[in-house]
Amino acid sequence: MKRVIFKFAVIISILSLVFAVSACESEKEQAVAPGHSTSSQKVKQADGEKIKVGFTMDTLVEERWLRDRELFRDAVRALGADVEILAANGDDVLQIAHAESLISQGVDVLVVVPHNAEATATIVKKAHMAGIKVMAYDRLVKNADIDMYVSFDNEQVGELQAEAITQLVPKGRYVYIGGAITDNNAHLFKKGVFNVLQPYIDSGDITVVFDQWTKDWTPANAKENMRAALKANNNQIDAVICANDATAGGVIEALAEQGMAGKIPVSGQDAELAGVQRIVEGTQTMTVYKPLKELTQTAAKIAVQMAKGETVAINRKVNNGKIEVPSVLLPPIAVDRSNMDETIIADGFHSREDVYKK
């Protein structure tokens, strides 16, 4: 009988040890949250296999996004990592498909320039289910547990635009031509603009007589908006604030049709070559320069840190409707004819020959 009791006690002890080990392993698995560094990543790094960054972009239509693609690719490779870049041409369904493709390829971190700030929340969920962290690049992803946001201070972009135009036209009839309503940055630009305009509006010095978004940011749509603004106001317009240089280009074409180009102050943003050439010519008043080399190098460095599970230093938290997103926001720079040489040209963003057409 004693032997039976002894054997039973031994069996109980062994089973207890097995359950304890299983519980320990379970706790270890639970400690790895979705999107955080996993043991497979550590094995990859230990074996010397390169980290792979996936980059899904909204579009390559505008000049600046071509620059982002090339500079980001160079910055990631300079850090010893690989990068796969796909552009969705403004198609939400295609962008989600691109993200799924990058996830299936086993990228270590996913970087997203969203076409639609809301729709791309799906991408974040899919990546996190695969244990992959997600960074929003330049445009915030709304209502999602995004891991990181790297951009410029986009509200300040709008403030710089409005400050430049109100210095020239402190009283008058204003037109605001915004960006795409689906782009969260467009809302931030507009918020910044009206931060500056509101006191003038409240005092009665400025009246905003036309305020419209521009579908897909296209110059053609901006041109039609401006034509509508001019028609509705019998050409009685004193200033135009445009969300970027592409929309400013369309607006200036509409003004030129009425013989008003160069007579009405027009703002822009992105420091596109066509935009800075218009500043030199006198048909566009200013642009906002966002040093893309700094942005791409910062984003690449952080993406690699995220892939390795390293701590990332942030300077802001931005609410995306769901969480306070850890963020790194860089300062933009207002540029007009007076400081063109010491900013855009000095940085090599555009050559002096191209800007001045010499």
pLDDT at 46 over 80: no
Q: Are residues 69 and 127 in the same domain?
A: yes
Q: Which residues contact 40 (CB under 8 A, 6 or more apart)?
A: none
pLDDT at 17 over 50: no
Tens digits of residue pLDDT in 4-16: 444 444 444 434 4
Rounded to an integer, the average pLDDT of 123-152 is 96
CB atoms within 10 A of CB 5: 9
Mean pLDDT of the chain: 88
Q: Are residues 238 and 300 in the same domain?
A: no
Q: Are residues 324 and 340 in the same domain?
A: no
pLDDT at position 24 is 35
pLDDT at position 133 is 97
Write b or e for each residue in 343-354: b if 16 or more Cβ atoms lie within 10 A of its Cβ, otherwise e. bbbeeebbeeee
Q: Are residues 106 and 123 in the same domain?
A: yes
Q: Are residues 219 and 250 in the same domain?
A: yes
CATH code, 96: 3.40.50.2300
The answer to whether position 31 is within a domain reads no
Domain extent at residue 167:
154-290+335-356
Instruction: Name the residue with higher pLDDT: 197 or 62.
Output: 197
pLDDT at position 71 is 95
pLDDT at position 64 is 85
CB atoms within 10 A of CB 176: 26
Determine what percent of the chain is predicted with pLDDT higher than 90.
81
242 pLDDT tier (thresholds 50, 70, 90): very high
CB of 134 closer than 8 Å to CB of 123: yes
48 pLDDT tier (thresholds 50, 70, 90): low
The answer to whether position 318 is within a domain reads yes
The answer to whether position 21 is within a domain reads no
Determine what percent of the chain is predicted with pLDDT higher than 70.
86
Q: Are residues 187 and 232 in the same domain?
A: yes
Q: Are residues 68 and 124 in the same domain?
A: yes
Nearest CA among 100, 92, 93 for reference residue 84? 100
pLDDT at position 45 is 54
Q: Are residues 205 and 347 in the same domain?
A: yes
Tens digits of residue pLDDT in 59-104: 898 888 999 999 999 999 999 999 999 999 989 999 999 999 999 9
Is 269 in a helix, a strand, or coil?
coil
The answer to whether position 55 is within a domain reads yes
pLDDT at 42 over 50: no
pTM over 0.75: yes
The total number of structural domains in the chain stands at 2
